[in-house]
Amino acid sequence: MSGSSNRHLPLDGHTVFEIGQNVAAPFAGQILADLGAEVIKIEKPRGDDARHWGPPDWEGASAMFQTLNRNKTSQVCDFRDAAQVARLRDQILRDADVVIQNFRPGVLESLGLDAGTLQARKPELVYCDMGAFGRGGPLSGLPGYDPLMQAYGGLMSVTGEPGQAPVRTGYSVIDCATGMWAAIGILSALLQRRQDRKGTRVEVSLFETALGWMQVAGAQHLASGEIPGRHGSGAATIVPYGAYLASDGHLVIAAGNDALFGKLSALLGHPEWADDPRFRSNPARVVHRKEIDRLIQAEVALQTRDHWIMALRDAQVPCAPVQDTAEAFGCEQARALGVLQDVPGSAMKFMGLPLRLDGRRPEIRKAPPALNTPKQEATA
């Protein structure tokens, strides 16, 4: 929100304790912090492991840590010190609206910082457990990282080129999506608390998030009995719908229905494709995927990426250049949306929260906290 606006952020007045590290819990905390909550990040004496997940580092910690921990304060707790744990427990019982945690199963129970212990003394507390495999089942006690869940949840089986080794997505989509589900659950619990004055135990897990991303593949498997495979940049059930190589780079063409395929065929100089029995309907094109992709690729290769982007947009055929990171954040649309935000008291810039409220994107109010500064405030 603009600093000149008098309107409060949605979570102003709420206090969140984030007892977590790496990506999933910090991302959940970041969402709540960007929406106005006071988020107190509880770190072990060495700090969140992600502080050291570089290079590149940026102003004292890894770039990954910095972008996931703005708008928070940091507080150190040595969990081997009973007195420090007791002080933290008292602080949570006094101040917290929400606790987010992603420790290994059993650790916080042994410290009296688990949902059962805290909610028994503070029934209105919203407590979010973030696990690897979820509570219950033979794997519930195992640790988990994003690539493990992309593997175990099936995502790697449908990602990559046919016949090639499985690959994970470039960044930690399972971790970030689990953080999003945690934030959604917490917001729902806070709304429920307004009605009944009671807290909720919110549970999310990396494995359940991975399976959630696989719901379409799961439905297709249950409907057909077949195991979905890899289609590179394409889609299993829509053709043409993927990346093609122009003379100087790749672009994605998404002709998602028969009318769009007709426009694409005409633009490429082959209106007869739209009447070819092999390509007349999307189900037919799915069956004859290799043939139509080969024909389209042969035409696309004759011109530059920019030529095709302009021509396809003029013909109202959905398309996009395959941009690298610099191109994506530097493009006219990203600049117009103001997605990159300055960090107060810092030379850093981060991607802001990808939503706007009444036309305003919540602002980065505080720089990521340094370690060993329980109530550090960034210089505005």
Domains of the chain, first to last: 15-213+338-351 (3.40.50.10540), 241-324 (3.30.1540.10)
Write out pLDDT tens, residues 83-94.
Answer: 999 999 999 999
Average pLDDT for 328-343 = 96
Write out pLDDT tens, residues 21-49.
Answer: 999 999 999 999 999 999 999 999 999 99
Smallest CA-to-CA distance from 121 within 149, 154, 142, 94 is with 94
Dist. CA 370–CA 225, nearest whole Å: 53
Element (H, E) at 185: helix 173-196
Can you count the helices (H) and strands (E) in the chain? 15, 13
pLDDT mean across residues, the chain: 94
pLDDT band at 213 (very low <50, low <70, confident <90, very high): very high
Dist. CA 367–CA 342, nearest whole Å: 10
306 is catalytic: no
Dist. CA 96–CA 374, nearest whole Å: 15
Dist. CA 281–CA 238, nearest whole Å: 10
pTM exceeds 0.85, yes or no: yes
Write out pLDDT tens, residues 349-361.
Answer: 999 999 999 999 9
Pairing of strands 340-342, 319-321: unpaired
Q: Which one of the listed residues 114, 129, 175, 293 is annotated catalytic?
A: 175
pLDDT band at 216 (very low <50, low <70, confident <90, very high): very high
Predicted local distance difference test score (pLDDT) of residue 104 = 87
pLDDT band at 79 (very low <50, low <70, confident <90, very high): very high
Predicted local distance difference test score (pLDDT) of residue 148 = 95
pLDDT of 4 above 70: no
The lowest-confidence range among 1-15, 194-208, 225-239 is 1-15
Predicted local distance difference test score (pLDDT) of residue 105 = 87
Average pLDDT for 143-170 = 93
pLDDT band at 3 (very low <50, low <70, confident <90, very high): very low
